């Protein structure tokens, strides 16, 4: 089992094209851990902004009466993918993994697969 920092470092090293990763509490919008990012990618700001995305999708699903859960949310930009993976474990309710990828270097299917594996090994 991996702690937060170990899991985020694993995302950065094992996922081709990773630009930054964060573990985020979407009830508060706070990043519980970040790795990567930089001037072009403020992970603290991204964590807060993507919290709004998650909340909006959860609210919309409730309004539609959908009895399902969100696996992940993909935002495709011109040069990047932003992947939001909601955590499913009992101790991780209200949390999501956020991963920013360089679109030219990343394999989206492999990134999703690796993020799922990292989630399974993450201990909160």
Residues in CB range of 90: below 8 A, 6 or more apart? none
Query: Can you list the pairs that 38-42 forms with residues at least 24 positions away whose Cβ atoms lie under 8 Å?
Result: 41/100
Residue 124 lies in a domain: no
What's the total number of domains in the chain?
Answer: 1
- Examine the pLDDT at 108 and tell me if it is beyond 90: yes
Residues 50 and 82 sit within 8 Å (Cβ to Cβ): yes
> 57: domain CATH number?
3.30.450.30
Residue 28 lies in a domain: yes
Mean pLDDT score, 15-20: 97
pLDDT averaged over every residue in the chain: 93
Residue 45 lies in a domain: yes
pLDDT of residue 14: 95
pLDDT range class, residue 123, cuts 50, 70, 90? confident
- Examine the pLDDT at 62 and tell me if it is beyond 70: yes
Residue 53 lies in a domain: yes
pLDDT range class, residue 47, cuts 50, 70, 90? very high
Residues 80 and 96 sit within 8 Å (Cβ to Cβ): no
Residue 91 lies in a domain: yes
Residue 8 lies in a domain: yes
pLDDT of residue 92: 66
Structural domain harbouring 18: 2-119
pLDDT range class, residue 40, cuts 50, 70, 90? confident
């Amino acid at each position: 089992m991996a702690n937060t920092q170990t899991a985020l470092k694993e995302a950065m090293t094992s996922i081709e094209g990773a630009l930054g990763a964060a573990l985020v509490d979407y009830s508060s919008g706070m990043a519980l851990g970040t790795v990567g990012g930089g001037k072009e990618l403020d992970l603290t700001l991204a964590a807060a902004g993507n919290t709004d995305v998650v909340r909006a999708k959860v609210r919309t699903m409730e309004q539609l009466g959908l009895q399902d859960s969100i696996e992940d949310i993909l935002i495709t930009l011109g040069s990047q993918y932003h992947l939001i993976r909601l955590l499913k474990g009992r101790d991780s309710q209200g949390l999501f993994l956020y991963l920013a990828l360089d679109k030219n270097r990343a394999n989206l299917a492999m990134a999703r697969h690796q993020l799922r594996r990292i989630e399974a090994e993450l201990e909160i």
